Amino acid sequence: MPCALQAQGISYRVRVGGSDRTFHVHAEFPNGAGRDTLLLALPAWSPGSYEIMDYARYVHTFSAAAPDGRALPWSKADKDTWRILTRGASRVSVDFETDPDSVALELSRIEPGFAWFNGTNLFLYPVGQGFDFPADVELDVPPGWRIATGLAPAEGSHYRASSYHDLVDAPVFLGRFAYDSVVVDGRPVRLAIHPDSALTPVVWDTVGRALRLIASAEDRIMGGPVDSGYTVLVYAPAGELDWAGGLEHHNSQFDVIAMDFFASDRRRGILGDFTLPLLAHEFFHLWNVKRIRPAAMWPYEYAHAQYTPLLWWSEGVTDYYADVALARSGLWTPEQFVDGLSADVQQVEDAAEIVSVEDASVDTWIHPTYVDEAQYYYPKGALLGLMLDIGIRRATADRHCLDDVMRALLSDYWRQGRGFTTGDLLDLIRPWYGGVDDFYRRFIRGREPLPYDSVLPLGGIAVERHEERVAQVGVAMGKEEAGGVEVTEVVPGSLADEAGLAPDDVLLKVGDVSASSPLWPIAFRSRYDGADGSVVPVTYRHAGRLVVRSATLHVRVARSIALRPDPAAAPEARAVFEGIAGARP
């Protein structure tokens, strides 16, 4: 916004801790320019979470007043924006309540003795005045409540931010949680976790060590920290949670992960499989996306979607570097590193069609149905990062690598106060890897199958293709029943469907294999995997009645690709692997 007026400092107060689950928000806006009308808006989305959320939907009891307490008239200008008639007031204060009350990375919630919030949910901005205004936030909480946030502390319970961007990019924990820290490369890396029972001394031993190793490995990749302190906020509820994830911020990350999934204290503080990659991924965003950012999101705007074709780089290559950091730090063995890449391959190959990561990146805002997940560009982007890394290392006899590209993006774009485009990225890579334009045209912008077999062996990674024939019954199974198993779902067009099975029936026998043992699917497959098209009797109980019907067997051919480190690879290839993973294959 080149012509924007610089708004003067804006102050906010957030009060929590009453008997309700409501955030009470007060904000004061200078009206030095004497405008008749002040437009105030809440963001439609939170950077990093590419989805229109319209936080204004949770707001109620909105009011506006002049400094003398006079109420000022207001109306809604659009779904996210309030229009206030200032009546010449030099300052306008606003009060409202909001209660998103959801366990979600971009929302906010109050529980007994604990709360967290995302600034995008609470902090109004004056429309048309830019985002570079300083802000002061007072956090009004009950006595004894702790506060953890990436915001800079000021007097008492006040915090400050030098711009609206930084203000809303620092989630806040309030109340009761465990808090500890390690020092890495001269700055504190803190962990705040709720509930505090999630952080036993044994778990902290493991998590603290992991944070130290991840931060130091990623600092080394990027040439050092770009923050003066980093905060990991973890909400780890006991009990069930059917998802886990994290969201990156300016100098912090907010992760939601069920307590047992995060770490188990029972076996010497073992971290869950998901925990290390999650911490490493969100931490790497400190550089990649928070600072090295696609030009289309520079600066962030909050009223509408910002489309970029580059999320394969911002998310997928971040995933690649999370794995690389875990390997180089020794937290993962070379085998675990390659297993992670294998899982990426499987996710890409399991997609129903080949999608360009640039299209998937733009489409993420609409959660498209053409791939299972809008997040297709994570695994595919990670593999593209690996292939570009191998390409650069082979073309320069290991004198250069993808780390150099990352560091060049940091110095040539972020340090110059700007974002980068795909053209900029290709320009940086081209001098080291002349094949990058062809690679880009075919596999990044284009939809050709990824060239695992021709590229990965150059990096000391063997590609094994497997084909498996699997005889299909076509049912989902519930509990065991006398002599068989309860059917909960029937796949249309399957053997079970043709035999007339329905949910709640009890499947007793398929062909000559009885369904009475929990291991019967294994017996069934070893008997029928080679019998595509043969007709077999199916025996089941329907409404207490015994039914025997014949149906046709279908055998599905399952193809999979597995990667493994190849100790027998040529010396150049093994050197590339060692450069990437920090250890010989």
Q: Which among 235-243, 308-316, 409-417, 475-483 is the span making contact with Zn ion, rule CB under 5 A? A: 308-316
Rounded to a whole number of angstroms, the minimum distance from the CB of residue 284 to Zn ion is 8
Instruction: Locate 533 and state its tokens.
Output: 């098209």
Rounded to a whole number of angstroms, the minimum distance from the CB of residue 281 to Zn ion is 6
- Residue nearer to Zn ion on the CB measure, 106 or 315: 315
- Residue nearer to Zn ion on the CB measure, 315 or 566: 315
Q: Tell me, what amino acid is at 418?
A: R
Q: Which among 251-259, 311-319, 538-546, 573-581 is the span making contact with Zn ion, rule CB under 5 A? A: 311-319
- Residue nearer to Zn ion on the CB measure, 141 or 289: 289
Instruction: Locate 9 and state its tokens.
Output: 């400092």
Residues 6+ apart with CB under 8 A from 96: 25, 59, 60, 61, 62, 63
Would you say 275 and 331 are in contact if contact means Cβ atoms under 8 Å apart? no
Binding mask 361-390 for Zn ion (x = CB under 5 A): ------------------------------
H runs (alpha helix) in 19-168: 119-122, 164-168
- Residue nearer to Zn ion on the CB measure, 310 or 507: 310
Q: Tell me, what amino acid is at 188?
A: P
- Residue nearer to Zn ion on the CB measure, 115 or 310: 310
CA distance 200 to 485: 42
Q: Which among 139-147, 198-206, 310-318, 442-450 is the span making contact with Zn ion, rule CB under 5 A? A: 310-318
Residue 284: name the closest of 165, 406, 388, 163 by CA. Answer: 406
Rounded to a whole number of angstroms, the minimum distance from the CB of residue 319 to Zn ion is 7
Whether the ω angle into residue 492 lies within 30 degrees of 0, i.e. cis, is: no
- Residue nearer to Zn ion on the CB measure, 315 or 403: 315
* Nearest residue to Zn ion, scored by beta-carbon proximity: 315
Site size toward Zn ion, by CB under 5 A: 1
Rounded to a whole number of angstroms, the minimum distance from the CB of residue 288 to Zn ion is 9
Rounded to a whole number of angstroms, the minimum distance from the CB of residue 285 to Zn ion is 6
Q: Which among 87-95, 168-176, 307-315, 467-475 is the span making contact with Zn ion, rule CB under 5 A? A: 307-315
Pairing of strands 252-256, 245-248: antiparallel
Rounded to a whole number of angstroms, the minimum distance from the CB of residue 342 to Zn ion is 20
Would you say 376 and 308 are in contact if contact means Cβ atoms under 8 Å apart? no
Instruction: Locate 61 and state its tokens.
Output: 């009891």
Which of the residues 184 through 243 are near Zn ion (CB under 5 A)? Answer: none
CA distance 276 to 267: 17
Q: Which residues of 338-350 are buried (b: 16+ CB within 10 A; e: fewer)?
A: bbbbbebbebbee
- Residue nearer to Zn ion on the CB measure, 319 or 498: 319
Four-residue CA torsion sign, 406, 318, 208, 195:
positive
Pairing of strands 37-41, 152-153: unpaired
Q: What is the dihedral of CA 86, 92, 93, 94, to 10 degrees?
A: 50
Binding mask 428-447 for Zn ion (x = CB under 5 A): --------------------
Q: Which among 309-317, 327-335, 508-516, 536-544 is the span making contact with Zn ion, rule CB under 5 A? A: 309-317
Rounded to a whole number of angstroms, the minimum distance from the CB of residue 482 to Zn ion is 50
Rounded to a whole number of angstroms, the minimum distance from the CB of residue 246 to Zn ion is 7
- Residue nearer to Zn ion on the CB measure, 315 or 344: 315
HSE-up of residue 189 (Cα within 13 Å, Cβ side):
24
- Residue nearer to Zn ion on the CB measure, 315 or 505: 315
Which of the residues 312 through 331 are near Zn ion (CB under 5 A)? Answer: 315
Residues forming the site for Zn ion (CB under 5 A): 315
